[in-house]
Amino acid sequence: MDDGQSAGTGETAPLGAMGKASLLFSSLLSVYAIVGLAVVLPKIAAHFADVPDAPALVRFLFNAVSLAMIFGAPLATLLTERYGRRRVLIGAAILYGIAGMAGALVDNIWILIGTRLVLGLVTAINSTLHITLLLTAFDESRRNRWIGIFSMVGTLCAVATFPIAGALGSIDWRLPFAMHLIAVPQLLLILAGVPDSPRATRPTDRAANRRAAAGAGFPAMLVLIALVTGIVAGGHSSFVSFHLADIGVTDTNKISLGLLIGTLAGAVTAFAFGMLREHASNRSLYCAAFALAGAGVIGIGMAASLAGVMAAQIVAGFGIGLLSPCLYALVAITGRPEDRARNTGYAKSAFYGAPFIAQLGLEPVARLMQAGGALIALGSFGLIIAALLLVARPDRIAAA
């Protein structure tokens, strides 16, 4: 079945080539909002060097997107219920471009943080609604393949953006903010191909939806798994470039190269997810993903050269490339079909907010042991999660 279904309704609506293109292109907006500035973080910190504790503030600026996404993901479901999917996605794409571009025009770190918060809010809305469309647009036989394709495209988007952002950042740290104009083609694809969803405008309809959601219960285990997945998958992003600077790699093009290799490795495993699921359970793949990611991130923190960082990035990338597909597959089989939009919002809130939570825990370590120490601590956490999954009840980790 190649038809799209309304989020949370089960009603079928056509999903043509433009709709599928919008689905895949949405991953570029998410990836760039979350990690696109990674290569210029040391430059931004140097520019605001007169601001107390500038490196920590710049890492917060980087992770402000993740913080705002905690609230944007569930907001997406509420707005869609009232206004319909297309209207919400159109508004999110427009605000994405405005908030993202604003960073190229202002020279105050607190205003920059504010624009990043707005960017995170609308990025979460755009991503959550597209992922819900992905989970309802295909039958079970095709879903895992499309989850892998979606995750691979997101990873390849990072592959493309890192060198471009690095080249722009070598000229001026403000220029990578201009790349948020990628919202323009996303807007055109939404207008051309994303079907609308029925919206509950009557109070009785909204009350019925709330009662149904309450009856379904809160997916606590799903949210916990999404949280630890996001911590391991994204918690290292704001520290790798600072670790490279600590070991003497300050050129943005070289930093982008150090980040790029791990992203390529992630694309390989993300694309292979559908094939891997034919031979292994989601739980087994989750264990392998956390183990690889944890070992790789520890290696990054211990590396004393660009070559060492790149080698460890490959290991970490293999694991990180599997983490998001494993989470999406878990969401797809958690609860009733009509709960997918709600569960997607919960899971994405936890996943998106995880890097910010990781920063809060890792900043004291970074102050004591620099960015490398924070990476070692994060990687160790990943290995602990892998060990816990090995002994966890299979039915709680979607062993299907």
Structural domains in the chain, CATH included, are 4-396 (1.20.1250.20)
How far apart CA 370 and CA 378 sit, in angstroms, is: 13
Q: Is residue 375 a contact partner of residue 358, using CB atoms and an 8 Å limit?
A: no
Span 158-167, pLDDT tens digits: 777 778 888 8
Span 218-262, pLDDT tens digits: 788 889 999 999 999 988 888 998 899 899 988 888 888 888 888
For the cut 80, the answer to whether the pLDDT of residue 56 exceeds it is yes
> What mean pLDDT is reported for the chain?
83
Torsion of CA 141, 143, 148, 152, to 10 degrees: 140
Structural tokens at position 254 = 């070289």
pLDDT of residue 8: 40
For the cut 60, the answer to whether the pLDDT of residue 94 exceeds it is yes
Q: Is residue 40 a contact partner of residue 252, using CB atoms and an 8 Å limit?
A: yes
Of residues 355 and 315, the one with the higher pLDDT is 315
How far apart CA 155 and CA 260 sit, in angstroms, is: 10
Indicate yes or no: pTM above 0.85: no
Span 8-30, pLDDT tens digits: 434 444 567 888 889 889 988 98
Strands (E) in the chain, as ranges, are: 4-5, 12-13
For the cut 60, the answer to whether the pLDDT of residue 396 exceeds it is no
Backbone angles phi, psi at 2, to 5 degrees: -105, 20
